[in-house]
Structure 1
Amino acid sequence: MVFSRRSAVYMLLVGLLVLFLSPFGWLVLTALKDSSELRALPIHWWPHDPNLGNFYEALTHIDYLGYARNSLTIAGIYSVLVTLASAWAGYGFARLEAPGKRVIFGVLLSTMMLPQIITLIPTYLLFADFHLVNTYMPWVLWGLAGTPYLIFLFRQFFTNMPKELEEAAIIDGCGQVRIFWRIFLPQSWPVIATSLILSFSWSWGDYLAPALLLDTDRTTLAVKLATGYTNAHGAQMSNFMAAGAVMYVVPVLALFLIVQRGFVSGISTSGLK
């Protein structure tokens, strides 16, 4: 009975794994097909003659590495700044006392229900008034502002830390800034890893903000993948786009594999209280 139940669980997990990986598998197979196979009917799952040259064409048809550099710059700046800003705000909500702190924290959490698309046009007009369009300063400002979800994660983690650490540091003459940088932040590596992965993937995969705020030369790879792979007649070259998309997910996967242990630990420990 135990064996059959365990086997059923494994079969269910394998089935879910296949279900979740099937879109990516279809993307890889499309990236290996020739243009003629994409137009052929009936549709064949496996390419007759896998063509790895599509990946080279995806790199050379557009300035792939240049747009990838733009995406890495934006995602790197944003993820580092938003992690530090969210950690500092979370520390304040967790360890400092101030009138109306709970109300402010509740208002902060309520902003998570506000869709980004609603604030996109007003944000563009604001940045245009300050001549920040076609620069990377919007991502710097967004990073310095922190995000409600990451602030919540850091606040939950810092709330669970022993008060004796803070009291011992105060006795030694440390102020709140030094306590944060020397004691609390180094102990929060699981949440830092979680924040870096989430914020990097948000910025790396964002299409709307770069399309609205940046011109063709400074835009990101996400925008160029959607618009750059066309032939002389304006038709979309799906196999080149698929090859570019396969390579597009590599940085996020690499970051996740590097800090995955801290990511899983951060997600689990930040929700304990």
Structure 2
Amino acid sequence: MVFPRRSAVYVLLVGAVVLFLGPFAWLLDTALKAPSELRALPIHWWPHDPGLANFRDALTHIDYLGYARNSLTIATLYAVLVTLASAWAGYGFARLQAPGKRLIFSVLLSTMMLPQVLTLIPTYLLFAKIHLTNTYVPWVLWGLCGAPYLIFLFRQFFSNMPKELEEAAIVDGCGQIRIFWRIFLPQSWPVIATSLILSFSWTWGDYIAPALLLDDAHTTLAVKLAYGYVNAHGSPLPNLVAAGAVMYVIPVLALFLIVQRGFVTGSATSGLK
């Protein structure tokens, strides 16, 4: 009975892989086709003469590298700052004592149920009033405030760490800031990896905030991919859109491959307590 059950699991896993990779395979297929093949009937499932011309044109049709640099700047700034801020807040909720700590933590978790779309207009009006539109300062401020879900992950991880570590550090004369930086933060690499991947991918793939707060010169690659690939008549160029989208996912995949072990460990252990 073990063998059939294991075979069924493998079949389900292979089916899931095909299901999830199917859209990306279609995207790659479109990126390798010539424009004439996209209009041909019947549909060809594989390009007759696959080449990299679409990728070259995708880089030159818009300032692809310039917009990618804008996206990378915003995503990196936000990922680093929100990880540090969330770690510090999570440490406070896990190891420090203060009146109303449980209530504040409950309110913090409840903010995760608030849809982002409800805060778009107030956010824009606030940043426009203090003249922070067309700058990257909003992402710095958002990063310094931390993220509720990431604070929750760090809080759960720090709560599971032995109290003896903290007590030994206090005996040696360490304050709370030094305990956090020298003992707790270096031990939390799994959650740091999880936080970096999640926050980087959130910002890298975000369309709404850059479209709302940034002009064309400062906007990100996600926004430009949505409307930048058009011909002289304003019609979209699906082959260039597909080629640009394939290159667009490379940084996130690269980051995940680099820190995947820590990401999996952090996701699996941060909610144990």
TM-score scaled to structure 1, two decimals?
A: 0.99
Which residue is 1:161 aligned to?
161
| SS of residue matched to 1:234 | coil
In 2, Cα distance between the equivalents of 1:2 and 1:183?
45
Which residue is 1:203 aligned to?
203
* Aligned counterparts, 1:22-61, within 5 A: 22-61=22-61
Q: CA deviation at 1:187?
A: 0.4
Which residue is 1:114 aligned to?
114
Which residue is 1:87 aligned to?
87
Which residue is 1:96 aligned to?
96
| SS of residue matched to 1:44 | coil
| SS of residue matched to 2:272 | coil
| SS of residue matched to 1:135 | coil
One-letter amino acid of the structure 2 residue matched with residue 178 of structure 1: R
Number of residue pairs the alignment of both structures matches:
273
Once the two structures are overlaid, the 10-residue window that deviates more, 38-47 or 204-213, is 38-47
* Aligned counterparts, 1:185-196, within 5 A: 185-196=185-196
In 1, Cα distance between the equivalents of 2:26 and 2:248?
15
| SS of residue matched to 1:90 | helix
* Aligned counterparts, 1:222-237, within 5 A: 222-237=222-237
Question: Identity of aligned pairs, percent?
Answer: 82
**Root-mean-square deviation (CA), in Å?**
0.7
In 2, Cα distance between the equivalents of 1:51 and 1:231?
21
One-letter amino acid of the structure 2 residue matched with residue 198 of structure 1: L
In 2, Cα distance between the equivalents of 1:31 and 1:118?
36
Which residue is 1:177 aligned to?
177
Which residue is 1:218 aligned to?
218
In 1, Cα distance between the equivalents of 2:2 and 2:170?
55
Which residue is 2:138 aligned to?
138
Deviations 1:105-137 (A, max 9, x none): 000000000111110110010001110000000
Q: CA deviation at 1:190?
A: 0.3
Identify unmatched segments of 5+ residues in structure 2: none
* Aligned counterparts, 1:228-247, within 5 A: 228-247=228-247
Q: CA deviation at 1:10?
A: 0.6
Q: CA deviation at 1:230?
A: 0.4
In 1, Cα distance between the equivalents of 2:16 and 2:111?
33
Q: CA deviation at 1:44?
A: 2.0
One-letter amino acid of the structure 2 residue matched with residue 15 of structure 1: G
Q: CA deviation at 1:243?
A: 0.2
* Aligned counterparts, 1:240-259, within 5 A: 240-259=240-259
In 2, Cα distance between the equivalents of 1:95 and 1:269?
18
Identify unmatched segments of 5+ residues in structure 1: none
Which residue is 2:129 aligned to?
129
In 2, Cα distance between the equivalents of 1:4 and 1:107?
48
Q: CA deviation at 1:37?
A: 1.4
In 2, Cα distance between the equivalents of 1:159 and 1:31?
48
Which residue is 1:151 aligned to?
151
One-letter amino acid of the structure 1 residue matched with residue 44 of structure 2: H
One-letter amino acid of the structure 2 residue matched with residue 153 of structure 1: L
One-letter amino acid of the structure 1 residue matched with residue 115 of structure 2: P
| SS of residue matched to 1:98 | coil
One-letter amino acid of the structure 1 residue matched with residue 147 of structure 2: T
Deviations 1:160-217 (A, max 9, x none): 0000000011111111111100100000000000000000000000000000100001
In 2, Cα distance between the equivalents of 1:265 and 1:49?
43
One-letter amino acid of the structure 1 residue matched with residue 72 of structure 2: L
Q: CA deviation at 1:43?
A: 2.0
TM-score scaled to structure 2, two decimals?
A: 0.99
Once the two structures are overlaid, the 10-residue window that deviates more, 210-219 or 36-45, is 36-45
Which residue is 1:272 aligned to?
272
| SS of residue matched to 1:68 | helix
In 2, Cα distance between the equivalents of 1:9 and 1:226?
39
Q: CA deviation at 1:42?
A: 2.5
Q: CA deviation at 1:234?
A: 0.7
Which residue is 1:260 aligned to?
260
Q: CA deviation at 1:254?
A: 0.3
